[in-house]
Structure formats: C-alpha cells, structure tokens
Amino acid sequence: MPLFQQATFLTTVANLRDLPQDAVREVAFAGRSNAGKSSAINTLAGRVRLAFVSKTPGRTQHLNYFTVAENKYLVDLPGYGYAKAPEEIRAQWEGLIGPYLSQRSPLVGLVVIMDCRRPFTDLDRNLIDWFRPTGRPIHILLSKADKLSRQEQTKVLKAVRIELANWGEGAYSVQLFSSLKKSGLEEAEKVLAGWLDLPLEKKPALENKGPPDKGGPGAKMPQRRQGTRSGR
C-alpha cells in the first residue's frame, strides 16, 4: 500500500500569509515544467489525479497543499522554466517560491524532480541554490527512468552522485524513478517517511519453504525391525 494513499487535497496558496498555520512538517516537491513532478506525486499517493498533470508548462502558479497525516503535508510547488508565461505571472512565481523555500519553518526537506535525460539545468541549479543555505535535506528524483536503458540509467545516476559530492556537507541524495513503471517507489517512500516522521508499513516475512523438521508433526517414524525369537 502506498505510503500516501490517504493523501487529500487541502488548499491552494497564492500568498505567503495564507500558508497553513497548523503545519508541523511538510515536504515540498519542485521541478522544471514537464519534468514529471505531478506524476511523481500521484504515483507516491497511488492515485491518478491527486496532483493535476498539466500539458501546458507553467500552468500551476500556486502552492498546492496535500494532507498526508495530521499537521503534515506534501506541497506541490509551481513548475519552473516555462517560456511563454507573462512577466507578471513570472514575477508572482519568483515572489512566492523564493520566500517560501528560504523562510518556511515547517519545511523539512525538498524533493527536486529532474528528467533523467536532462538533469541539472540552469533552472534546477538556481532553485537548489535558493534552498541549500537553509541546511535542510534535498532528495533528487530522476524521473522518466524508463526512457533510458539500464546502462544509461547507471551513467546518469553516477554523474549526479558526483555532482552531489561536490556540494560539500549536507544531506543530499538521489535515485532513479519512473511513474510509468512504478519503479523507485519504495526508496522514495523511505526518504519521505523519515522526513515527515511517518511509520512505514512493514512487509510480511517470507514463508520458510524449506524441508520439514524430521522430528516434527507428520514426520514418518522408522519401522521397528522384527527379529526372530531364539531359545523357544
């Protein structure tokens, strides 16, 4: 069962003054437009349309809050990198996202969604540079991993890990992820559960299908050999 299967939409925030006041912990999801951010959230929740998947880059300009437990939220940030957005909308996005990432106290971590075929664009780096001074952890989901061969996936993952190592001290991690194949789901859940202080569902132990104990119930007892009596 997905960790966030009970997630529900809470509210859309267009101004920092409207942020939920009861938040104890929240994790933000950010990514370049069409990098697969909304699809990743839907996959983690085991839902089809929890987060709206837009075919128009930059359509979502606000912060969308989803409740995952009492006072704990996932936050879908606006996609960045849209080329045709009016300047006033662009300014609104920058005025909202920058202060949110740098000043929001319940924010415990940032998940950055990157298309594994085009990781670390200049826009990705700009967003991360906004967030890194907070000292909070960053987890990178290399989305659309199904578009690459195993060899290509390994190469990209290694390159991103080298990049993270160059950032110096900090809690930075990366993984491959595919919403289409549902791969990387458990790894992402483990990271997010830790950040949000949520219990992970324990998987049942595998049944022991080895040979039965010879002395246990149902074991065939050896037959007693009947000898001949002598002296009679």
Residue ranges covered by each domain of the chain? 8-196
- Read off the pLDDT of each residue in 133-153 and give the average, rounded to a whole number: 96
- Read off the pLDDT of each residue in 81-93 and give the average, rounded to a whole number: 64
User: What is the secondary structure of the chain as a DSSP string?
Assistant: --TTTT-EEEEEESSGGGS-TT-SEEEEEEEBTTSSHHHHHHHHHT-SSSS---SSTT---SEEEEEEETTEEEEEPPPB--SS--HHHHHHHHHHHHHHHHH-TTEEEEEEEEETTS-S-HHHHHHHHHHGGG---EEEEEE-GGGS-HHHHHHHHHHHHHHHHTT-SS-EEEEE-BTTTTBTHHHHHHHHHHHHT-PPPPPPPPP--SPPPTTSTTPPPPPPP-PPP---
Q: What percent of the chain has pLDDT over 90?
A: 53
| C-alpha angle 204-208-211 in degrees, rounded to nearest 5 | 170
Class of domain 8-196: alpha beta
CA contacts within 13 A on the Cβ side of 178 = 13
- If we measure between CA atoms, which residue out of 78, 87, 100 comes closest to residue 23? 100
- Read off the pLDDT of residues 27-54 as tens digits, 9 standing for 90 and up: 999 998 888 888 898 899 886 666 554 4
pLDDT over 90 (residue 209): no
Cα-only R_g, the chain: 26
- Read off the pLDDT of residues 157-206 as tens digits, 9 standing for 90 and up: 999 999 999 998 889 999 999 999 999 999 999 999 999 999 887 665 55
| C-alpha angle 180-64-30 in degrees, rounded to nearest 5 | 55
φ/ψ of 185, rounded to 5, equals: -65, -50
CA contacts within 13 A on the Cβ side of 109 = 20
pLDDT over 80 (residue 153): yes
* Higher pLDDT pick, 114 / 209: 114
pLDDT over 50 (residue 55): no
Quote the pLDDT of residue 205: 53
Quote the pLDDT of residue 217: 43
**What are the structure tokens assigned to 232, written together?**
């009679």
The region that residue 44 occupies, defined by phi over 0 for left and psi between -120 and 50 for alpha, beta otherwise, is: alpha
Question: Contact 68/196 with Cβ under 8 angstroms?
Answer: yes
How far CA 23 is from CA of 20, 46, 73, 132, in Å, comes to 6, 23, 7, 21
* Higher pLDDT pick, 202 / 131: 131
pTM for the model stands at 0.81
